[in-house]
Amino acid sequence: KAGVTQTPRYLIKTRGQQVTLSCSPISGHRSVSWYQQTPGQGLQFLFEYFSETQRNKGNFPGRFSGRQFSNSRSEMNVSTLELGDSALYLCATRRGVNTGELFFGEGSRLTVL
C-alpha cells in the first residue's frame, strides 16, 4: 500500500514569508502528527490531529499551525519564517489516536534564507 506522502519535498523561502506543507496519510490512518527535525534539536513534536481536531501539541510558538481535512489529509503552516525554522518537517500517521505504530513520510526540507 502507498506510504505517507509529503509535498513539497524541498523548498526555499526567505525570512518573513510563510509556508504550507502537505501530508497525505496511509489509507485508513486517521491520525496525523508533525515533527520538526534539526541537527541540533533532533526530532521534536509539533502537533497531532485526529478527526480534524488537534489532539496534542508540542512547545512551538503560535507561528506553527496545522489542520486536518475530512479525508485525513493534513497541512501545516509556518508564518513569519525565521532562519531557525530551517529543518526537515516530518509527517507521521497511524490508525488511531494515542497509540499504535507511527509511519513517517520522507519529509519536506525547508530552507529559510
Partner 1 sequence: QQQVKQSPQSLIVQKGGISIINCAYENTAFDYFPWYQQFPGKGPALLIAIRPDVSEKKEGRFTISFNKSAKQFSLHIMDSQPGDSATYFCAADKTGTASKLTFGTGTRLQVTL
Q: Where on the chain is the footprint of partner 1 (CB under 8 A)?
A: 4, 33, 35, 41-45, 48, 55-56, 58, 90, 92, 97-99, 101-107
Minimum gap (Å) between residue 45 Cβ and partner 1: 5
- Residue 35 vs 72, nearer CB to partner 1: 35
Minimum gap (Å) between residue 34 Cβ and partner 1: 11
Q: Residue 102 corresponds to which amino acid?
A: L
Buried b (16+ CB within 10 A) or exposed e, 12-51: ebeeeeebbbebbbbeebbbbbbbbeeeeeeeeebbbbbe
- Residue 75 vs 103, nearer CB to partner 1: 103
Minimum gap (Å) between residue 82 Cβ and partner 1: 22
Minimum gap (Å) between residue 49 Cβ and partner 1: 12
- Residue 22 vs 104, nearer CB to partner 1: 104
- Residue 23 vs 81, nearer CB to partner 1: 23
Contacts of 50 (CB under 8 A, 6+ apart): 30, 31, 32, 68, 96, 97
